[in-house]
């Protein structure tokens, strides 16, 4: 995939979007592109249903098909699937989680399965959410290449691939797109003998169809859809998956759990998912199950800001599961430096009780993790609480100024803090810009009012931000002047409890230090900063930090001393 492709794709997408009408749906447009491509380059493959001759010859369709035709086969599937995901409406994209796997990540996962010992020549392989066959097509190509090296004839190769591969996909159109992409990946052999292998792509929900597939496969490969599950969706899950649901369950966790059930005794799995399962409270039972049933042999970490995924705002992990070992074995961790380039960052023993999995992003992170002590926010004497004002639900009156609140006879107007007002460098800039909700009437009950000394943090950050922990002490004058403050639900307060060992100013400095931010990133791949992760975050010895600051050290040097780290670590 060339960097220029990312520039050209949006331009061509504009042309394809111009073809959308009430009767010309995204499926018809993408099918027209596929058929134009088939006619030009893959004439032995069957045409996709749904396209009209008029659409096939539309200028934007021909232009996009010609652009695809100049690409290597793996890139074709990615851009064709991505076009579909960008043409459907936003609600459908969110509901079915249309985000497709770039070829570089697909290759890495299949290489990882190679390293785990997968026998491509004989393995039965299933993709339980195959989308546009981003994994299944290249997996079929690997099977074919291995058999070709063994001098197996073309027709037998295609028959073997059809017997070894299975796909499951809930979207009928994507199932057809999968069949096309598998044909493109196997086209050298198809062209030779004129036989298109009938690889079974089952249209349906893998989570509901799993009972007949338990223990049947040598490999599971998957980039599962990810979104929170509604209560009615949880209720429909099979009992073995429903039992793993906790707090706010995510759809992709169910696919991770299902993958272990479908493997035979010697099977391996490759799963590409967001990193949020590494530490999120909702994934506690799934983490525990994965370690109990399989050995997590390798994890590859990809940062979202590297731009590997189109439109994805979370850091991503490739998780490789292998047969369980009699004794705990360390998990190798690798970080993506750039598409196609990886470096080892260390190895870890994963928590087997459901606790967070803390993974080094750099080799120096592994050194830091080895000396990070067990002090936590609770040991410091603080408790995390999320701001309780949810704007679209809030019925309490809000005001642009204190004068407006008094004119409206507000009972107890207090400042309402918002995430953008928490600035890097530990500053809170209340009323940074004019807004209609600078103050809120807490009323007589004072629910959500923070009067205790506190630190306030951004609860949601952006992938491109250098830091995840952006916080500031709540100014004492604000709390005294207005008898407390409140926060929207995009901020988290760390509230001092009786006997707190450090003041908010020092705590904010510690959380804003380089090492603590890096430790947080080692355990969290999501852009949100959850109270669960904050509660489990290792912190330095506050007495050592305080003494080093008093001696003239800066906060980063003082925190290093508090962790027992001798010298500065490279980023």
Q: What is the pLDDT of residues 220-253, one digit of tens each?
A: 999 999 999 999 999 999 999 999 999 999 999 9
pLDDT, one tens digit per residue, over 527-541 is: 889 999 999 899 999
pLDDT digits (tens, 9 = 90+) for 432-477: 888 999 999 999 988 999 999 999 999 988 877 889 999 999 999 9
Q: What secondary structure does DSSP assign to 314-344, as a single string?
A: S-EEEEEEEEPPSS--PEEEEEEEETTEEEE
Look at residue 511 in the predicted model and tell me its pLDDT.
97
Token pair of 470 as six digits: 């952006």
492 pLDDT more than 90 = yes
Confidence of residue 517 (pLDDT cuts 50, 70, 90): very high
* Strand spans (E) along 135-216: 165-169, 201-203
Q: What is the mean pLDDT of residues 16-27?
A: 94
Q: Is the pLDDT of residue 116 over 80?
A: yes
pLDDT tens for 119-135 read 999 999 999 999 999 99
Cα-based angle 112, 115, 117 (whole degrees, multiple of 5): 115
64-73, 305-314, 414-423, 496-505: lowest mean pLDDT where?
A: 305-314
pLDDT tens by residue, 192-228:
999 999 999 999 999 998 888 999 999 999 999 999 9
Share of the chain above pLDDT 70, in %: 96
Ordered DSSP codes for 36-56: HHHHHH-TTSPPPTT--HHHH
Going by pLDDT thresholds of 50, 70 and 90, the confidence category of residue 285 is: very high
Average confidence (pLDDT) over 80-93: 89
Distance from C-alpha of 285 to C-alpha of 354, rounded to nearest angstrom? 6
Per residue in 141-180, pLDDT (tens digit) is: 999 999 999 999 999 999 999 999 999 999 999 999 999 9
Q: Which tens digits make up the pLDDT trace of 369-381?
A: 877 767 999 999 9
Instruction: Give the C-alpha separation, 301 to 316, whole Å.
Output: 6
Strands (E) in 380-451, as ranges, are 382-386, 398-399, 413-417, 422-423, 427-428, 439-441
Q: What is the DSSP letter of 58?
A: S
| pLDDT greater than 60 at residue 309 | no
Q: What's the rounded Cα separation, in Å, for the pair 7 and 1?
A: 12
For residue 284, what pLDDT band results from cuts at 50, 70 and 90?
Answer: very high
Quickly count: other Cβ atoms within 10 Å of residue 163's Cβ.
14
DSSP 247: S
Q: Taking a C-beta distance cutoff of 8 angstroms, is the pair 523, 533 a contact?
A: yes
pLDDT at 483 over 90: yes
Task: Report the share of the chain in percent with pLDDT over 90.
Answer: 81
Cα–Cα dist 272/109, whole Å: 8
Confidence (pLDDT) at 341: 86
Distances (CA, A) of 230 to 91, 237, 285, 528: 15, 11, 18, 20
Listed in order, strand segments (DSSP E) in 54-127 are 125-127
Torsion of CA 309, 68, 97, 142, to 10 degrees: -80
95 CA to centre of own chain: 16
**For residue 281, pLDDT beyond 50:** yes
302 vs 44 pLDDT, higher one? 44
Question: Two tokens at 409?
Answer: 């006879």
Cβ atoms of 198 and 190 within 8 Å: the answer is: no
Distance CA 229, CA 223 (A): 17
- The closest alpha carbon to 155, from 201, 191, 181, belongs to 191
Cα gap 29→84, rounded to integer Å:
8
- Rounded CA-CA distance 258/263 in Å is 9
E runs forming strands in 216-293: 217-222, 263-274
């Amino acid at each position: 995939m060339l960097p220029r492709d990312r520039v050209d794709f949006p331009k061509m997408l504009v042309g394809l979007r111009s073809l959308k009408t009430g009767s010309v749906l995204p499926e018809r447009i993408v099918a027209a592109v596929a058929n134009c491509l088939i006619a030009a380059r893959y004439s032995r493959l069957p045409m996709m249903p749904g396209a009209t001759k008029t659409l096939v010859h539309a200028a934007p369709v021909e232009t996009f098909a010609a652009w695809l035709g100049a690409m290597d086969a793996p890139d074709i599937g990615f851009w064709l699937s991505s076009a579909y995901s960008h043409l459907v409406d936003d609600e459908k994209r969110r509901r079915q989680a249309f985000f497709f796997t770039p070829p570089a990540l697909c290759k890495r996962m299949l290489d990882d399965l190679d390293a785990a010992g997968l026998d491509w020549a004989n393995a039965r392989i299933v993709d339980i959410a195959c989308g546009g066959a981003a994994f299944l097509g290249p997996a079929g190509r690997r099977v074919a290449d291995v058999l070709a090296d063994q001098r197996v004839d073309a027709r037998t190769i295609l028959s073997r691939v059809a017997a070894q591969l299975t796909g499951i996909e809930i979207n009928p159109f994507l199932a057809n797109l999968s069949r096309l992409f598998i044909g493109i990946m196997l086209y050298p052999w198809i062209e030779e003998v004129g036989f298109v292998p009938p690889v079974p792509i089952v249209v349906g929900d893998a989570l509901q169809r799993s009972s007949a597939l338990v223990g049947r496969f040598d490999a599971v490969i998957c980039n599962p859809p990810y979104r929170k599950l509604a209560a009615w969706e949880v209720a429909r899950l099979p009992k073995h998956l429903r039992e793993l649901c906790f707090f706010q369950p995510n759809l992709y966790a169910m696919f991770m759990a299902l993958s272990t059930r479908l493997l035979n005794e010697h099977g391996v799995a490759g799963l590409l998912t967001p990193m949020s399962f590494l530490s999120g409270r909702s994934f506690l039972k799934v983490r525990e199950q994965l370690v109990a049933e399989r050995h997590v042999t390798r994890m590859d970490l990809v940062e979202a800001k590297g731009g590997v995924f189109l439109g994805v705002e979370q850091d991503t992990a490739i998780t490789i599961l292998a047969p369980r070992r009699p004794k705990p074995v360390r998990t190798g961790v690798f970080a993506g430096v750039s598409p196609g380039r990886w470096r080892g960052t260390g190895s870890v023993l994963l928590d087997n009780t459901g606790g967070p999995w803390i993974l080094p992003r750099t080799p120096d992170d592994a050194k830091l993790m080895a000396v990070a002590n067990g002090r936590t926010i609770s040991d410091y004497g603080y408790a995390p609480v999320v701001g309780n004002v949810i704007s679209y639900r809030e019925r309490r009156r809000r005001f642009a100024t204190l004068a407006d609140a008094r004119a409206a006879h507000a009972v107890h107007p207090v400042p309402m803090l918002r995430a953008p007002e928490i600035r890097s460098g530990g500053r809170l800039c209340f009323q940074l810009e004019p807004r209609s909700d600078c103050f809120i009437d807490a009323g007589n009950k004072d629910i959500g009012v923070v009067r205790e000394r506190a630190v306030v943090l951004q609860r949601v950050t952006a992938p491109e931000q250098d830091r995840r922990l952006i916080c500031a002490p709540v100014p004492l004058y604000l709390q005294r002047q207005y008898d407390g403050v409140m926060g929207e639900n995009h901020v988290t307060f760390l509230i001092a409890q009786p006997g707190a060992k450090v003041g908010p100013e020092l705590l904010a400095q510690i959380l804003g230090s380089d090492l603590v931010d890096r430790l947080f990133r080692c355990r969290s791949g999501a852009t949100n900063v959850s109270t669960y992760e904050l509660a489990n975050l290792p912190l330095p010895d506050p007495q050592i930090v305080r003494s080093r600051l008093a001696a003239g050290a800066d906060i980063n040097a003082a925190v290093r001393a508090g962790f027992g780290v001798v010298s500065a670590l490279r980023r």
